[in-house]
A and B are shown apart, each in its own frame.
Chain A
């Protein structure tokens, strides 16, 4: 199974600032995903990040607000821009391993915006 790490594990940020979350995988994967879990809610997919191409965003999420980088097959970043308290959530990255179809998740980044 893939081992995924995220940095930071948590952060408290001021309104109007931006935070970049890093996701590192211990093996090369084609597709990486970014999810958001708002307080008391289930997970919602933000975007799919493929290496060498633009990320694909789901309805309700835009690149200006959540820019994503995918410089290689083991790493991705998600930036939460111009934050507001409504952005307070857990942000999780995940990968799909083609051989098993199983999706693995990182430990998440707990973001609180004041």
Chain B
């Protein structure tokens, strides 16, 4: 059974800092890993998708890396802004599980002006 863990559960940083969010998963047999952002009371916005054959993906100030063999992914946010405040979720699509995503518990990020 796939288990996904995100550390830290919550993070508060001053504006402008670079930060790293961590995601680990127990079963390395994955198709891909996806990072999402969720604003309070809202749905999920897809940020980055990394296929199992890829090492990293970048979009603007966001960079996500994947080390499948060690079961880890990181989301790097450069020059954080108050608008980045949200909960960040990682989710893996496991081989043999169809399109089902297994989610981590999320990291709640607060960027203070």
**Residues of A near any B CB (own CB < 8 A):** 1, 4, 6, 31, 33, 41-45, 48, 58, 90, 92, 94, 96, 100-108, 110
Asked whether A48 and B98 contact (CB < 8 A) given A105-B36, A106-B43, A108-B43, the answer is yes
Instruction: Please determine whether B49 and A102 come into contact, CB atoms closer than 8 angstroms.
Output: yes
Tell which of B44, B49, B105, B106 touches A101, judged by Cβ atoms closer than 8 Å: B49
Instruction: Please determine whether A48 and B44 come into contact, CB atoms closer than 8 angstroms.
Output: no
Secondary structure of the A side of the interface?
Answer: strand
* Proximity bits, B37-56, A CB within 8 Å = 1, else 0: 00001111110010100000
Please give, as numbers and ranges, the residues of chain A lying within 8 Å of B49 by CB-CB distance.
100-102
* Proximity bits, B3-16, A CB within 8 Å = 1, else 0: 00000000000000
Instruction: Please determine whether B42 and A42 come into contact, CB atoms closer than 8 angstroms.
Output: no
Complex: A33 Cα to B34 Cα, angstroms: 16
Residue ID in chain A nearest B51 by CB atoms: A101
